[in-house]
Structure 1
Amino acid sequence: MILSTGTLVAVVDGEKLALFENTGGRSISLTPRPTPAIAERASGAAGRISSEANPDNDTQAEDGFALGVTEVLNKWVLTNKVEHLLVIAAPKTMGQLRKGWHKETAARVVDEIAKDLTGHSTEQIAAAIEKA
């Protein structure tokens, strides 16, 4: 995969968010960016049914975290702080993120990788992007 310079790479699971900026040209070179505070929520968005019939507290917390991540990314897109966005997320988290995208955020997502890479090194994440 080829990413534009300046593309924001968000690596997410149900508990963690890591942000990187692609500072390379044709080759992927990820520079860590500060991770914003994500609002803690007891459950997902009001009016939304969780991904399970009777979600336990962990599932609700993960869904709520994903909602918090979407709120931050939506805000950044709407204030023109993000032009291009690559999202790498655990498959379940990816589904929750998609539910919360603003239409403008969805339009700026250049690609998605449904894989849990949180906790992996920057080099491993860059390698996964290059293979995608």
Structure 2
Amino acid sequence: MKIPANAHVAVVDGERFVLMRNAGTVADAKLAHVDDPSLDGEDESGAHGHNDPRSDDYRTQEKLDHAASVASWLNRAVLQHRIESLIIVADPDTMGELRRHYHTALQDVLVGELAKQLTGMPGPDILKAIEAA
């Protein structure tokens, strides 16, 4: 998958959220760490309104809530025009919950998704995984 110049890359799992940006070009992408966004005040609830047998588990519910809060943060950043193109990388469970909360504006700027656990990996390894997808 090609990463457009200046595109943001959100790397998410059930506990972490890292935001990067392509500081290079499409042909020579270079991911630069932008932020570890604060989710304070997001307080979104994951698994709300659907029957997920896993949501009875406290740890699983926290992970679903985290994903919903990340989606809320990304939605707001897109609506405020702070993110104009976006790639989301998340483990499959987190990706599924994120998708449930996408605003249509976020869907419009979404360049791609990669359902893979990559949090905690260095930027060059994340870049390689995205480009190989």
Would the TM-score normalized by the shorter structure come out above 0.5? yes
Change (3 A) 1:131 1:68: same
Matches within 5 A, 1:47-58: 47-49=48-50, 51-52=52-53, 55-58=56-59
Please state how far the C-alpha of 1:90 moved relative to its aligned partner.
0.3
Shift of the 3–14 alpha-carbon distance from structure 1 to 2, 3 Å rule, reads same
- Provide the secondary structure at the position in 1 that maps to 2:49: coil
Aligned identity (percent) is 37
Deviations 1:38-89 (A, max 9, x none): 14759426x4225325521001100100011011100000011111000000
Query: 1:14 maps to what in 2?
Result: 14
Greater shift, 115-124 or 30-39, is seen at 30-39
* Residue aligned with 1:33, SS: strand
**Where does structure 2 lack aligned partners over 5 or more consecutive residues?**
none
The answer for the alignment partner of 2:65 in structure 1 is: 64
Normalised to the residue count of structure 2, the TM-score between the two structures is: 0.91
Match of 2:98 in 1: 97
Q: Do the aligned partners of residues 42 and 129 (structure 1) sit closer, same or farther apart at CA in structure 2, a change above 3 Å counting?
A: closer
What is residue 23 of structure 2 aligned with on the other side?
A: 23
1:37-52 paired onto structure 2 within 5 Å: 37-39=38-40, 41=43, 43-44=45-46, 47-49=48-50, 51-52=52-53
Partner AA of 1:17 in structure 2: F
Moved over 6 A (4+): none
| One-letter identity of the residue aligned with 2:108 | A
Deviation at 1:106, TM superposition (A): 1.1
**TM-score of the two chains, using structure 1 as the length reference:** 0.91
Gap runs ≥5 in structure 1: none
Describe the SS at the equivalent of 1:24.
coil
Provide closer, same or farther for how the CA distance between residues 84 and 65 of structure 1 changes in structure 2, counting only shifts above 3 A: same
Separation in 1 of the partners of 2:49 and 2:126? 31
User: What RMSD over aligned residues (CA atoms) do the two structures have, in Å?
Assistant: 1.8
Aligned residues: 131
* In structure 2, distance between residues paired with 1:57 and 1:43: 13
Q: What is the letter of the counterpart of residue 70 of structure 1?
A: A
